[in-house]
Amino acid sequence: MINKDPGFPYVNGRWQPKPAHAPIVMGMVVVAAVLAWLTGLGQQNVSALFLIVDPRYHDVSSFDARLSALLDTLLSGQIWRLISPDFLHFSWSHLIFNAVILWFLGSQVEWLDGKKRFLTLFVATSLGANLLQYMMNGPFFGGLSGVVYGVLGYCWLSQQQLPRFQFPPALMIFAVVWMLLGFTALPEVLGIGRMANEAHLGGLLTGLALAALPPIKKAPRSGA
Protein backbone atom coordinates (compact mmCIF):
# COMPACT_ATOMS: atom_id res chain seq x y z
CA MET A 1 0.00 0.00 0.00
CA ILE A 2 1.06 3.60 -0.60
CA ASN A 3 0.77 6.07 2.23
CA LYS A 4 -1.12 9.06 0.80
CA ASP A 5 -0.72 11.24 3.88
CA PRO A 6 0.57 14.61 2.55
CA GLY A 7 2.78 14.84 5.64
CA PHE A 8 4.60 11.65 4.69
CA PRO A 9 7.88 12.35 2.79
CA TYR A 10 7.60 9.45 0.33
CA VAL A 11 5.99 9.38 -3.10
CA ASN A 12 5.51 5.89 -4.53
CA GLY A 13 8.15 4.66 -2.10
CA ARG A 14 10.71 7.29 -3.13
CA TRP A 15 12.15 9.86 -0.75
CA GLN A 16 10.73 13.24 -1.81
CA PRO A 17 10.65 15.51 1.23
CA LYS A 18 9.28 19.00 1.60
CA PRO A 19 10.92 21.76 3.68
CA ALA A 20 8.55 20.97 6.56
CA HIS A 21 10.02 17.46 6.81
CA ALA A 22 13.54 18.75 7.46
CA PRO A 23 13.44 22.40 8.55
CA ILE A 24 16.93 22.33 10.05
CA VAL A 25 18.55 21.12 6.85
CA MET A 26 16.53 23.60 4.81
CA GLY A 27 17.53 26.40 7.17
CA MET A 28 21.21 25.53 6.74
CA VAL A 29 20.91 25.64 2.96
CA VAL A 30 19.13 29.01 3.10
CA VAL A 31 21.75 30.48 5.45
CA ALA A 32 24.55 29.29 3.17
CA ALA A 33 22.86 30.83 0.13
CA VAL A 34 22.24 34.16 1.87
CA LEU A 35 25.81 34.28 3.15
CA ALA A 36 27.18 33.48 -0.31
CA TRP A 37 25.28 36.49 -1.62
CA LEU A 38 26.22 38.83 1.24
CA THR A 39 29.92 37.96 1.06
CA GLY A 40 30.11 38.05 -2.73
CA LEU A 41 31.14 34.37 -2.67
CA GLY A 42 33.83 35.12 -0.12
CA GLN A 43 35.25 38.17 -1.90
CA GLN A 44 33.96 40.83 0.53
CA ASN A 45 35.88 41.82 3.67
CA VAL A 46 32.93 40.69 5.80
CA SER A 47 33.91 37.12 4.95
CA ALA A 48 36.66 37.30 7.58
CA LEU A 49 33.95 37.30 10.26
CA PHE A 50 33.10 33.73 9.29
CA LEU A 51 36.56 32.22 8.97
CA ILE A 52 37.61 30.01 11.84
CA VAL A 53 40.08 32.72 12.91
CA ASP A 54 40.58 36.21 11.51
CA PRO A 55 43.94 36.16 9.70
CA ARG A 56 44.06 39.96 9.75
CA TYR A 57 44.79 39.87 13.48
CA HIS A 58 46.52 36.51 13.99
CA ASP A 59 49.65 34.81 12.78
CA VAL A 60 48.63 31.56 11.06
CA SER A 61 51.94 30.72 9.40
CA SER A 62 52.73 27.60 11.46
CA PHE A 63 50.96 24.84 13.37
CA ASP A 64 51.86 26.36 16.74
CA ALA A 65 50.79 29.82 15.60
CA ARG A 66 47.46 28.48 14.33
CA LEU A 67 46.84 26.69 17.62
CA SER A 68 47.58 29.85 19.58
CA ALA A 69 45.37 31.93 17.27
CA LEU A 70 42.49 29.49 17.68
CA LEU A 71 42.76 29.46 21.46
CA ASP A 72 42.88 33.26 21.59
CA THR A 73 39.83 33.45 19.30
CA LEU A 74 37.78 31.03 21.38
CA LEU A 75 38.80 32.61 24.67
CA SER A 76 37.60 35.96 23.32
CA GLY A 77 34.12 34.45 22.98
CA GLN A 78 34.05 33.92 19.21
CA ILE A 79 32.78 30.37 19.53
CA TRP A 80 30.65 30.66 16.39
CA ARG A 81 33.81 30.52 14.28
CA LEU A 82 34.07 26.77 14.87
CA ILE A 83 30.92 26.34 12.78
CA SER A 84 30.64 29.44 10.60
CA PRO A 85 33.12 28.32 7.89
CA ASP A 86 30.51 25.72 6.88
CA PHE A 87 28.33 28.47 5.47
CA LEU A 88 31.03 30.22 3.43
CA HIS A 89 31.16 29.23 -0.23
CA PHE A 90 33.38 30.56 -2.98
CA SER A 91 31.39 29.47 -6.01
CA TRP A 92 27.72 28.86 -6.73
CA SER A 93 28.49 25.45 -8.20
CA HIS A 94 30.12 24.36 -4.94
CA LEU A 95 27.15 25.61 -2.93
CA ILE A 96 24.59 23.94 -5.21
CA PHE A 97 26.40 20.59 -5.13
CA ASN A 98 26.65 20.65 -1.33
CA ALA A 99 23.03 21.76 -0.96
CA VAL A 100 21.68 18.98 -3.18
CA ILE A 101 23.55 16.18 -1.39
CA LEU A 102 22.87 17.61 2.07
CA TRP A 103 19.17 17.99 1.30
CA PHE A 104 18.84 14.45 -0.06
CA LEU A 105 20.68 12.68 2.77
CA GLY A 106 20.50 15.20 5.61
CA SER A 107 16.73 15.42 5.34
CA GLN A 108 16.52 11.65 5.74
CA VAL A 109 18.65 11.77 8.90
CA GLU A 110 16.54 14.59 10.34
CA TRP A 111 13.26 12.81 9.57
CA LEU A 112 14.22 9.21 10.34
CA ASP A 113 16.69 9.60 13.21
CA GLY A 114 15.38 12.85 14.63
CA LYS A 115 16.40 16.47 14.86
CA LYS A 116 18.64 15.91 17.88
CA ARG A 117 20.63 13.27 16.02
CA PHE A 118 20.99 15.48 12.97
CA LEU A 119 22.14 18.44 15.07
CA THR A 120 24.63 16.21 16.86
CA LEU A 121 25.88 14.98 13.50
CA PHE A 122 26.12 18.52 12.14
CA VAL A 123 28.04 19.95 15.10
CA ALA A 124 30.38 16.96 15.45
CA THR A 125 31.24 16.74 11.75
CA SER A 126 31.68 20.51 11.56
CA LEU A 127 34.20 20.39 14.37
CA GLY A 128 36.01 17.38 12.96
CA ALA A 129 36.18 18.89 9.49
CA ASN A 130 36.98 22.50 10.34
CA LEU A 131 39.55 21.84 13.04
CA LEU A 132 41.53 19.34 10.97
CA GLN A 133 41.48 21.59 7.90
CA TYR A 134 42.50 24.65 9.90
CA MET A 135 45.32 23.03 11.85
CA MET A 136 46.81 21.50 8.71
CA ASN A 137 46.36 24.35 6.24
CA GLY A 138 45.14 27.53 7.91
CA PRO A 139 41.86 29.47 7.95
CA PHE A 140 41.27 30.11 4.25
CA PHE A 141 38.54 27.57 3.58
CA GLY A 142 34.78 27.28 3.66
CA GLY A 143 31.83 25.20 2.60
CA LEU A 144 29.45 22.51 3.75
CA SER A 145 31.55 19.76 2.17
CA GLY A 146 32.90 18.54 5.49
CA VAL A 147 29.37 18.14 6.83
CA VAL A 148 28.29 16.47 3.58
CA TYR A 149 31.09 13.93 3.92
CA GLY A 150 30.09 13.37 7.54
CA VAL A 151 26.47 12.73 6.60
CA LEU A 152 27.62 10.40 3.82
CA GLY A 153 29.76 8.39 6.23
CA TYR A 154 27.02 8.27 8.83
CA CYS A 155 24.33 7.13 6.39
CA TRP A 156 26.56 4.56 4.70
CA LEU A 157 27.76 2.82 7.87
CA SER A 158 24.61 3.06 9.97
CA GLN A 159 22.68 1.71 7.00
CA GLN A 160 24.56 -1.57 7.49
CA GLN A 161 23.14 -1.87 11.01
CA LEU A 162 19.57 -0.71 10.34
CA PRO A 163 18.52 -0.23 6.70
CA ARG A 164 16.34 2.87 6.51
CA PHE A 165 17.98 5.38 4.16
CA GLN A 166 17.57 5.64 0.42
CA PHE A 167 21.28 5.71 -0.26
CA PRO A 168 22.87 4.72 -3.59
CA PRO A 169 26.12 2.84 -2.72
CA ALA A 170 27.85 4.37 -5.75
CA LEU A 171 27.58 7.77 -4.05
CA MET A 172 29.97 6.68 -1.31
CA ILE A 173 32.42 5.27 -3.84
CA PHE A 174 32.35 8.49 -5.83
CA ALA A 175 32.85 10.60 -2.68
CA VAL A 176 35.87 8.62 -1.50
CA VAL A 177 37.48 8.58 -4.95
CA TRP A 178 36.91 12.33 -5.28
CA MET A 179 38.46 12.94 -1.86
CA LEU A 180 41.53 10.86 -2.73
CA LEU A 181 41.94 12.69 -6.03
CA GLY A 182 41.81 15.92 -4.06
CA PHE A 183 45.06 14.99 -2.35
CA THR A 184 46.74 14.97 -5.77
CA ALA A 185 47.52 17.84 -8.12
CA LEU A 186 44.76 16.79 -10.54
CA PRO A 187 42.06 19.29 -9.40
CA GLU A 188 44.46 22.21 -9.83
CA VAL A 189 45.57 20.90 -13.22
CA LEU A 190 41.92 20.76 -14.28
CA GLY A 191 41.38 24.32 -13.08
CA ILE A 192 39.10 23.32 -10.21
CA GLY A 193 41.48 24.69 -7.63
CA ARG A 194 42.72 23.31 -4.36
CA MET A 195 40.12 21.44 -2.34
CA ALA A 196 39.73 21.37 1.45
CA ASN A 197 40.61 17.69 1.61
CA GLU A 198 41.39 17.60 5.31
CA ALA A 199 37.88 18.93 5.95
CA HIS A 200 36.45 16.13 3.82
CA LEU A 201 38.50 13.55 5.69
CA GLY A 202 37.71 14.98 9.13
CA GLY A 203 33.99 15.11 8.37
CA LEU A 204 33.94 11.59 6.96
CA LEU A 205 35.77 10.05 9.93
CA THR A 206 33.52 11.84 12.40
CA GLY A 207 30.38 10.71 10.57
CA LEU A 208 31.61 7.12 10.56
CA ALA A 209 32.28 7.31 14.30
CA LEU A 210 28.78 8.63 15.02
CA ALA A 211 27.25 5.78 13.02
CA ALA A 212 28.01 3.57 16.02
CA LEU A 213 25.24 5.35 17.92
CA PRO A 214 21.77 3.77 17.61
CA PRO A 215 19.01 5.80 15.92
CA ILE A 216 17.19 8.12 18.31
CA LYS A 217 13.76 7.20 17.07
CA LYS A 218 12.32 4.32 15.09
CA ALA A 219 12.37 4.90 11.36
CA PRO A 220 8.84 5.23 9.89
CA ARG A 221 7.77 2.91 7.09
CA SER A 222 8.28 4.10 3.53
CA GLY A 223 4.63 3.36 2.75
CA ALA A 224 5.40 0.95 -0.06
Amino acid at 91: S
Residues labelled as active-site residues: 145, 200
CA distance 8 to 20: 10
Whole-number Å distance between alpha carbons of 68 and 46? 23
Burial 95-111 (b: 16+ CB within 10 A, else e): bebbbebbbbbbbbbbb
Q: Identify which of 34, 60, 27 has the alpha carbon closest to the alpha carbon of residue 137.
A: 60
Other Cβ atoms closer than 10 A to 28? 22
Beta bridge partner(s), residue 10:
15
Please spell the DSSP secondary structure of 139-199, one letter per residue. S----THHHHHHHHHHHHHHHHHS--S---HHHHHHHHHHHHHHTSSHHHHTT-----HHH
